[in-house]
Amino acid sequence: RKEVEQDPGPFNVPEGATVAFNCTYSNSASQSFFWYRQDCRKEPKLLMSVYSSGNEDGRFTAQLNRASQYISLLIRDSKLSDSATYLCVVNTHGSSNTGKLIFGQGTTLQVKP
Amino acid sequence: DAGVIQSPRHEVTEMGQEVTLRCKPISGHDYLFWYRQTMMRGLELLIYFNNNVPIDDSGMPEDRFSAKMPNASFSTLKIQPSEPRDSAVYFCASSLDALTGRETQYFGPGTRLLVL
């Protein structure tokens, strides 16, 4: 079983739609959670961190459910420019000052006019 | 403010040749990561350094791969000899720290490697 699992999609949605991505992680000791965005033929970039209480950044809302080991990303009023691959990322800290990010395979979103 | 710098951006080589990828992390970042990305396997961590010291190289595929970080501003990933299955995009990333709140990784633009 992969440490971080995502539905690869693609999700094809019209402009203005609301779309949600889900992600599950296997290590219950995971401590930090993120969504990264990767445009075609570009490098991944941090979209937002995910906090236990849930957090919002404009049209983007991230939720974390530690009990179910589940992370979600909701995009409202989707724009053409939201078309990208969204990577679910988990950090499991080892001993102090160690840790590495585990990336999911990514979910591809294509927003159509 | 310069981000992570990688060179070359593209590399085409023949099987059996040595390939050297280079990375300059963001100044002041103590962590440096090397990743490989393919369609089949996604983004895989190969190795990471803390203060120039390799911490975890469990992702390095085999002995043909080696990585060094001789100083805080430079790292190399070497493949010798290269094989067609090494064709991928290789990313370098750096972060301030590994502690919660400071572990955001900033990626370079990647090196697209094609081994014929």
pLDDT, tens digit (0-9, with 9 covering 90-100), for A72-88: 999 999 999 999 999 99
A45, A49, A98 ranked by CB distance to B55: nearest? A98
B45, B91, B110 ranked by CB distance to A100: nearest? B45
pLDDT single digits (tens) B4-26: 999 999 999 999 999 999 999 99
Binned at pLDDT 50, 70 and 90, residue B62 comes out as confident
Inter-chain residue contact B42 with A104, CB threshold 8 Å: yes
Distance from CA of B90 to the nearest CA of A (A): 10
pLDDT single digits (tens) B64-100: 999 999 999 999 999 999 999 999 999 999 999 877 6
- Alpha-carbon torsion (B102, B21, B68, A102), positive or negative: positive
Closest-CA residue of B relative to A103 is: B43
Percentage of residues in chain A with pLDDT exceeding 90? 73
Binned at pLDDT 50, 70 and 90, residue A92 comes out as confident
> What is the arithmetic mean of pLDDT over B29-57?
93
Q: Is residue A2 scored above 90 in pLDDT? A: no
The mean pLDDT value of chain A amounts to 90
Closest Cα to residue B93, out of B101, B104, B84, B79?
B104
- Cβ atoms of residues A52 and A6 within 8 Å: no
B103: which chain A residues are within 8 Å (Cβ-Cβ)? 32, 91, 99, 101
> Residues of A27-48 as b/e, b for ≥16 C-beta within 10 angstroms?
eeebebbbbbbbeeeebbeebb
